[in-house]
Structure 1
Amino acid sequence: MNNPRWTHRPKGSTWGDFGPDDQLGRLNLITPEKVREGVAEVREGRTFCLSLPLDFPGGNGLNARRHPPILRPTEGNGIAFFNREIAGHTDVICDDLAILHLQYSSQWDGLSHVGGMFDVDGSGTPRAVYYNGFRAGEDVQADETGSQALRLGIENMAAHGVQGRAVLIDLRHHFGDAFRHVSYDDLMRVMDADGVEVTKGDMVCLHTGFADVVLGMNRQPDKDRLHNSCCVLDGRDGALLNWITDSGLSALIADNYAVEAYPAKPGDACCSILPLHEHCLFKLGVHLGELWHLTPLAAHLRAQGRARFLLTAPPLRLPGAVGSPLTPIATV
């Protein structure tokens, strides 16, 4: 398979499968037919907001680099436009701005969020690349003036649209709120017990209850609880990674911090600290959703004996961003 950016692709990857310049990955599997399948799951017309308030979890105990949003008034001529009365008119105006860490709360990881060191030309020298061989420093850039993903930016996801059939797997119902590495065998037992089936193009949501735990701490989270609560996927489990590949899922979403355990269980010295991220974002082109709020939806679906629903979940159309907050909506 020839490509202007690579002659070798990672084993088991989808690089080139959707075209030499593809920037969508397995979102390509959300076809018009898949959207119709999602719409067919709407029976009641009831909606669920699947986003946390974007100032949760509070503090920066989950990730020291990420901080809660800050809202400020915009200014004109040094005057804050907030509760601003306009002389000679009846208007009162508020106009604000946000300083927003894009992956602080409920979010999508873009395909430029995690890359890998890989020998794309067979020279024996690995280089920093992202999904489909797009290159660090060329296609994904940063300097003292700012950062920009010229390729694989989150705007591609937004422009394609993220709407289709989703499937919820209720890990919390079976394992509770104790910290647990979920293996392939665990996942299969849960799916078998609940009669859950994942087919090509489905978006998969994992309910762990972590977002519910976060909400209960009301923006003043205990760091130990943040890092020692609820289920996480075992990214070192090769059978689990193979299932992600073979299932044909188009996106993988959880209500926990990173979908997988972070850091992962110890592995070889050369291996990724985030093996599921590497497998999904770098190799397969599977977007990851994190810190969603799935508990009310999970409770409703279980009461109705259902697992499928229509999911509408576009990110911000923010060119060059590598991740994005969102307000996803489930319709049942």
Structure 2
Amino acid sequence: MSFKPLPTFDELPVDKKGPFLNAWGLYGDNDQLGFLNRLTDDVVKEAAREIQSGTRTSLNWPMDAQKDIPFFGRQVFHKHVYQKPPRVVNDDVWTFNTQSSSQWDGLRHFAYQKEAKFYNGVTLDDIHSDDSTVNGIGAWSEKGIVGRGILLDYEAWRETHSHPQKDALKSGTITLSELKAVAEWEGVEIKFGDILIVRSGYMVQYNKRSRDELEALSKILPPTFLGVEQSTEVLNWIWDNFSAVAGDQPSFECWPSTQSYMLHEVLLAGWGCPIGELFDLEALSRQCEKTGRYSFFVASEPCNVPGGVASPPNIIAIQ
């Protein structure tokens, strides 16, 4: 399939009758991949050059990490292990919300709220019609989310520069100027098609909280979290550079939004840009510090669930 030339950010929206900054139709009216179209064979082949030592680092938080008090009112993870006599054999059954631990938000997850339209103009009726798989995350499993990843280790940069720590479980912003300063401090080059991963320090702070504190925080509605600022400047930066974005926070962006719109609306519903959340970046942070390299090959295969909304990332970084 031939695609339209990539417009500049200032030329958005692509569909002039559609919502704010949309790129609907850029990759075809029935496209299911969005920004993942940027991960061409050539981009992935070049990304493989990042593998120098073969060191592998998982970015998956345990699926039961939030125990019985997950945020956003999501269901807890259940694991049932059972025997199958008379043989000495076990099977197990897992029941879980796909967004209660590390996750990719898929294109069925979040719509433009005012217009009630998902990526490429898909509606709730389209999604909930019988046997519909439109915008389902299963489409991402065929080739995966595979390419060059970069870690912007905001928390390490903050500590090195003696900046005050921001409470990761309260609403607050990591600004674009801070993210660019992190990249400069790391000496990492940003290349088109990169998978952006931001370490805010959420995991460190979460693990220090008592059960009573986490229970109280889980009852705050709407929840409050540190995240990337909502601004057209941030959106322009993402549009110009990345194929997917992710972080260790529950919402990637500052929550609740400080603007009249949310990044989720434009990224998911407007552009088809995967959003990764609750990635465990602590081991990756140590690995990147050890090597002095903040880029790596990353391979993630969402679960092949036709019509699925979200998925555990099954993600690993390789240096």
Using the size of structure 2 for normalisation, the TM-score is 0.84
Decide whether the 8 Å contact of 1:198 with 1:204 is kept in 2.
no
CA gap of 1:216–1:44, structure 2 versus 1, over 3 A, is farther
The equivalent position to 1:166 in structure 2, one of 149, 161, 165, is 149
CA RMSD after TM alignment:
2.5
2 CA distance for matches of 1:61 and 1:102?
12
Counterpart of 2:150 in 1: which secondary structure? strand
1:141 corresponds in structure 2 to: 128
Deviation of 1:19 after TM superposition, in Å, equals 1.4
Count of residues in correspondence between the two structures: 294
Matches within 5 A, 1:309-328: 309-328=296-315
CA gap of 1:7–1:316, structure 2 versus 1, over 3 A, is same
Decide whether the 8 Å contact of 1:163 with 1:311 is kept in 2.
yes
The equivalent position to 2:239 in structure 1, one of 239, 245, 256, is 245
Q: Show structure 2 runs of 5+ residues with no match.
A: 5-14, 160-164
Deviation of 1:11 after TM superposition, in Å, equals 4.0
Counterpart of 1:250 in 2: which secondary structure? strand
Q: Show structure 1 runs of 5+ residues with no match.
A: 74-81, 119-125
Matches within 5 A, 1:98-109: 98-109=94-105
2 CA distance for matches of 1:205 and 1:92?
43
Matches within 5 A, 1:8-157: 8-64=17-73, 66-73=74-81, 82-86=82-86, 91-117=87-113, 126=115, 128-138=116-126, 140-141=127-128, 150-157=133-140
Deviation of 1:217 after TM superposition, in Å, equals 5.2
Using the size of structure 1 for normalisation, the TM-score is 0.81
1:79 corresponds in structure 2 to: none
2 CA distance for matches of 1:32 and 1:217?
43
Q: Which has the larger radius of gyration?
A: 1
Decide whether the 8 Å contact of 1:178 with 1:230 is kept in 2.
no
**Kindly, what percent of the aligned residue pairs are identical?**
28
Deviation of 1:218 after TM superposition, in Å, equals 8.7
Structure number with the higher helix fraction is: 2
CA gap of 1:68–1:132, structure 2 versus 1, over 3 A, is same
